[in-house]
């Protein structure tokens, strides 16, 4: 009788402990599952409602990188801001500008970004540094052509930014360099910005002390100038 009584007491004490614990675990599971489902459903709805931004890749030199101004004052960022205020939104700009870049870096830099991005448009603005070094225009042309071929092999739209050089290297070189860009645009059947620095180059109020790199006002003017070309290329 003593043994039976002792067993009976232990049995009911176990039930007294296990019962509430089972109830607590059951309630916890019941509460977590709906929250998980709700969160998952919310993420799915957000993904469906928000279109993914089209990427525009800028490949250039210090002009594109925004040398001497903050990154958000450089013309690629200003273009992004303006596009996202209009019907072409959402758009995301990737600024691949690097100070000192030459046309010989165009293909390598393009490959780098194509392995990481799926750009809807590539804006290529290189060659100015080559010209300042007096590089043969034919070499510059071939360097840019290699990048353009690769972009078209990847089925990417390209907008080419034309450049011009100061006449201190002589009229023959100046003309040969300027002709690179319309020739390439025709060869590859791509749109062209005739001169990236239209209205900015040589204008004191739009440039920094070096007379080469645009200041904040200059970048705003460049953005206004190239915006229609980019908008048209995105359509």
- Residue 50: the pLDDT is 56
Query: Which of 62, 101, 104, 105 is labelled catalytic?
Result: 62
- pLDDT tens digits for range 156-207: 999 999 999 989 999 999 999 999 999 999 999 999 999 999 999 999 999 9
- Residue 199: the pLDDT is 97
In angstroms, the CA 59 to CA 77 distance is: 13
Among 146, 159, 129, smallest CA distance to 227 is for 159
Query: Which of 77, 103, 213, 219 is labelled catalytic?
Result: 213
70 is catalytic: no
Domain layout of the chain by residue ranges? 1-50, 53-234
210 is catalytic: yes
Among 146, 81, 92, smallest CA distance to 120 is for 92
**Sheet with 121-125: strands ordered across:** 91-95, 54-60, 121-125, 158-161, 192-193
One pLDDT digit (tens) per residue for the chain, 235 residues = 434 444 344 433 344 443 443 333 333 443 434 333 444 444 443 334 457 999 999 999 999 999 999 999 999 999 999 999 999 999 999 999 999 999 999 999 999 999 999 999 999 999 999 999 999 999 999 999 999 999 999 999 999 999 999 899 999 999 999 999 999 999 999 999 999 999 999 999 999 999 999 999 999 999 999 999 999 999 9
Superfamily of structural domain 53-234:
SGNH hydrolase (3.40.50.1110)
- Residue 51: the pLDDT is 72
Q: Name the residue with tokens 């393009």.
A: 110
77 is catalytic: no
| Burial class (CB within 10 angstroms; exposed 0-12, middle 13-18, buried 19+) of 228 | exposed
Among 121, 99, 151, smallest CA distance to 229 is for 121
């Amino acid at each position: 009788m003593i043994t039976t009584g002792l067993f009976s007491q232990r049995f009911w004490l176990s039930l007294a402990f296990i019962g509430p614990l089972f109830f607590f675990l059951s309630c916890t599971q019941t509460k977590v599952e709906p929250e998980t489902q709700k969160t998952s459903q919310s993420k799915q709805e957000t993904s469906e409602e928000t279109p993914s931004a089209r990427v525009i890749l800028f490949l250039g030199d210090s002009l594109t990188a925004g040398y001497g101004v903050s990154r958000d004052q450089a013309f690629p960022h200003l273009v992004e801001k303006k596009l996202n205020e209009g019907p072409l939104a959402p758009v995301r700009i990737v600024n691949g500008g690097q100070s000192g870049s030459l046309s010989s870096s165009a293909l390598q830099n393009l490959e780098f970004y194509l392995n990481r991005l799926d750009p809807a448009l590539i804006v290529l603005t290189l060659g100015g540094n080559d010209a300042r070094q007096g590089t043969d225009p034919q070499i510059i042309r071939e360097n840019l052509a290699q990048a353009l071929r690769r972009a078209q092999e990847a089925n990417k739209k390209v907008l080419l930014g034309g450049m011009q050089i100061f006449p201190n290297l002589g009229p023959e070189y100046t003309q040969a360099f300027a002709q690179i860009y319309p020739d390439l645009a025709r060869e590859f059947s791509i749109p062209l910005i005739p001169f990236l620095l239209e209205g900015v180059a040589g204008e004191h109020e739009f440039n920094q002390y070096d007379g080469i790199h645009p200041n904040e006002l200059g970048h705003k003017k460049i953005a206004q100038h190239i915006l229609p070309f980019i908008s048209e290329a995105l359509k």
